């Protein structure tokens, strides 16, 4: 019955890591601005696509990925500055719709420039699978997990040790007071978009050697990341990362044990079930305020 379970676990965690990074991107922007950024998936796509393009242009792989990730982070900042800030104090719903517009635009531009083909990226250190328990693990899976952990660790340090990280948290929990401390809420919003661009692109770039990439991978990855973020409890960074991993594993088990035809459906079925039972997500406590 459980034959293949370790295998599914490993592949689930690998994909889940990218969902988790995408979900973290959602969380980051939601916490500082209250917006759900539906262009988040496009950052993931940009991370993969730009890496491919830059590699083809002759950059060595690590450099290509680094540059791709930085470009995506820049794209995030640019997005905030160009289309979110000018709208100013519009209702979050309007801003959310703007982000959907941005995602369609980005997807269209990438398709026009680089076409509808699917692209691959070489694995970071060979493709010879390693044996681990009963599972054969691609070295790339280890890279994905290691880099994800590294990014999570760095984020944790950023938020708990640096004044800028704390300032971002302050914006998230009490925006008005943050402004009164002299924290520029606008700059923090831009920074959060840049950071989400960075996180999404890292997820996209490290996953591409396994799952390939094309102009439209962002749609599904973005939705899954969003699902992960709701699963973990919207606004909770730890929940977002955990939600991503859980979602990836569930999906992989569902595909392995039930049917791979419904692979994409599992994520959303689980999400729906959870929302019926616990609308605040797995790690989101009930909202209560002391007055």
Partner 1 sequence: MLTLTNLDISYGRIRAVRRVSMHVDAGEIVALIGANGAGKTTLLSAISGLLRPEAGQVVFDGRDVTRFAPDKIVRLGLSHVPERRLVFKPLSVADNLLLGSYTRHGKTPRSVLDQDLDSVYAMFPVLRERARQPAGTLSGGEQQMLAIGRALMAGPKMLLLDEPGMGLAPTVCRDIFKRVLQLREERGLTVLLVEQNAKSALAVADRGYVLETGRVILQGQSAELLANRDVQRAYLGRDKSREE
Residue 137 three-state SS: strand
Report if residue 157 touches partner 1, rule: CB under 8 A. no
Interface stretch with partner 1, choices 51-59, 62-70, 72-80, 177-185 (CB under 8 A): 177-185
Among 92, 129, 174, 273, binds partner 1 (CB under 8 A): 174
Question: Is 32 or 40 the residue whose CB approaches partner 1 more closely?
Answer: 32
The piece of 83-91, 119-127, 164-172, 251-259 that touches partner 1 (CB under 8 A) is 164-172
* Residue 163 sits in the site that holds partner 1 (CB under 8 A): yes
Judged by CB under 8 A, does residue 176 bind partner 1? yes
Q: In terms of Cα–Cα distance, which of 226, 265, 208, 194 is closest to 21?
A: 226
**Shortest spacing between CB 170 and partner 1, in angstroms:** 5
- Measured CA to CA, the distance from residue 125 to residue 260 in angstroms comes to 28
Q: Closest distance between partner 1 and the C-beta of residue 69, in Å?
A: 27
In whole angstroms, how close is the CB of 50 to partner 1 at the nearest point? 33
- 291 lies in the site for partner 1, by CB under 8 A: yes
Distance in Å, CB of 182 to partner 1, minimum: 4
CA atoms of 196 and 251, how far apart (whole Å): 24
In angstroms, the CA 248 to CA 225 distance is 10
Other CB atoms within a 10 A radius of the CB of residue 244 amount to: 30
Q: Which is nearer to partner 1, 117 or 174 (CB)?
A: 174
Extended strands (E) in 116-243? 130-132, 135-137
277 in contact with partner 1 (CB under 8 A):
no
Q: What is the DSSP letter of 220?
A: H
CB of 290 to partner 1, least distance (A): 6
Q: Does 168 bind partner 1 (CB under 8 A)?
A: no
Site track 178-217 with partner 1 (rule: CB under 8 A), x = hit: xxxxxxx---------------------------------
Report the alpha-carbon distance of residue 227 to residue 267 in Å, rounded.
7
Give the C-alpha distances (Å, rounded to integers) separating 105 from 14, 47, 58, 245.
29, 16, 27, 29
Shortest spacing between CB 291 and partner 1, in angstroms: 7
In contact, 176 and 17? CB cutoff 8 Å: no
Residues 39-98 that bind partner 1 (CB under 8 A): none
Neighbour-count burial of 81, counting CB atoms closer than 10 A to its CB (0-12 exposed, 13-18 middle, 19+ buried):
middle
Q: Does 170 bind partner 1 (CB under 8 A)?
A: yes
Is residue 205 within 8 Å of residue 52, measured between CB atoms?
Answer: no
Distance CA 256, CA 264 (A): 12
Identity of the residue, 170 or 274, whose beta carbon is nearer to partner 1 in the bound complex: 170
Q: Which residues pair with 126 in a beta bridge?
A: 124
Toward partner 1, which CB reaches closer, 157 or 177? Answer: 177
273 binds partner 1 (CB under 8 A): no
CB atoms within 10 A of CB 214: 18
Residues that bind partner 1 (CB under 8 A): 163, 166-167, 169-170, 173-174, 176-184, 290-291
């Amino acid at each position: 019955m459980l034959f293949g379970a370790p295998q599914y676990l490993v592949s689930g965690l690998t994909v889940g890591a990218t969902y988790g990074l995408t979900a973290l991107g959602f969380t980051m922007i939601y916490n500082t601005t209250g917006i759900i950024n539906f262009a988040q998936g496009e950052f993931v796509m940009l991370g993969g696509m730009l890496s491919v393009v830059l590699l083809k242009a002759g950059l060595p792989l690590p450099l290509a990925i680094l540059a791709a990730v930085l470009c995506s982070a820049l794209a995030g900042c640019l997005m905030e500055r160009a289309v979110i800030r000018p709208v100013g104090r519009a209702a979050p719903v309007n801003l959310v719709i703007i982000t959907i517009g941005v995602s369609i635009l980005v997807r269209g531009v990438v398709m026009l420039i680089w076409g509808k083909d699917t692209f691959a990226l070489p694995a970071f250190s060979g493709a010879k699978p390693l044996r681990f328990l009963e599972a054969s693990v691609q070295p790339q899976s280890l890279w994905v997990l290691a880099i994800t952990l590294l990014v999570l660790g760095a984020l944790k340090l950023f938020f708990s040790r640096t004044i800028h990280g704390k300032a971002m948290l302050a914006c998230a929990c009490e925006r008005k007071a943050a402004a009164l401390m002299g924290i520029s809420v606008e700059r923090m919003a831009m920074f959060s978009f840049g950071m989400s661009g960075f996180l999404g692109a890292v997820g996209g770039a490290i996953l591409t050697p396994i799952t390939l990439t094309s102009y439209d991978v962002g749609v599904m990855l973005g939705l899954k990341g969003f699902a992960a973020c709701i699963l973990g409890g919207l606004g909770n960074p730890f929940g977002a990362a955990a939600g991503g991993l859980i979602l990836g594993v569930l999906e992989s088990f569902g595909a392995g044990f039930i049917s791979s035809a419904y692979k994409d459906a599992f994520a959303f079925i689980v999400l729906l079930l959870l929302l019926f039972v616990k609308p605040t997500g797995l790690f989101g406590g009930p909202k209560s305020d002391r007055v």
